[in-house]
Amino acid sequence: MGRPKLYDDALRARLLDGAAALVFDHGVDALNLRRLASGADTSTSAVYSLFGSKAGLLESLYREAVRRFGERLARVPVTDDPVRDIVRLGIAYREYARDEPHLYGILFSGLDEPNSDAGAEAARTIEPLVDAVRRGQAAGVLATVPAEQIALACWGVAHGLVSIEFAGSVPPGLDIAAGYEGALVAMVKGWTVDRPS
């Protein structure tokens, strides 16, 4: 019979969520392990047992942000309309940011240099978008430039608008929520090609 598990996945998730909130709201220097443990109704020994160290906690935090972001994008169905799929991926991008603001902040904050494995995981989150672009190119509806070029442009529009929204720096009279999907559609439309009738 194996040893009973002292600390479960629910506690691990609570600690990660608490750490994300602390870092997002106050910066990495505010991540005090005693404060974090107290907020999760546990002890610092649980933090060390689950993550090894503060550095291990930060690495796990980054990986969790990447994992949840990747899962959110992977839930966007692949359809026979790749142009619309690109727009749906952009919508999922914003939904993740709104649903998981602290983890979204960790993901794009430049918090720390992730190790090569974590960095590679993060880089792969753009793959569904690149795949949709390639499907659009194969169907003859998107320009024949490197697929990554189109994907990066679309990603940049999504990221830029979400960043402006989250920074609270939307100019008066403008509503990102109302114009977000339209901006994505316009970006993708700029990469479409006219097909002979």
CATH 1.10.10.10 is the classification of domain 62-189? no
Q: Which CATH class is domain 7-52?
A: mainly alpha
Q: Do domains 7-52 and 62-189 have the same CATH topology?
A: no
Q: SS3 of 142, please?
A: strand
Q: 91-149 pLDDT, tens per residue? A: 999 999 999 988 888 887 665 555 667 777 888 889 999 999 999 999 999 999 999 99
Tokens at residue 8, please?
């479960």
Global pTM value? 0.84
- Chain length of the chain: 197
Most confident of 25-34, 39-48, 66-75: 66-75
| Domain limits, the chain | 7-52, 62-189
Tokens at residue 183, please?
């901006």
Q: 13-37 pLDDT, tens per residue? A: 889 988 988 888 888 888 888 988 8
pLDDT at residue 186 in the model = 96
Cβ pair 142, 191 in contact under 8 A = yes
Residue that is written with structure tokens 């005090």 in the block: 32
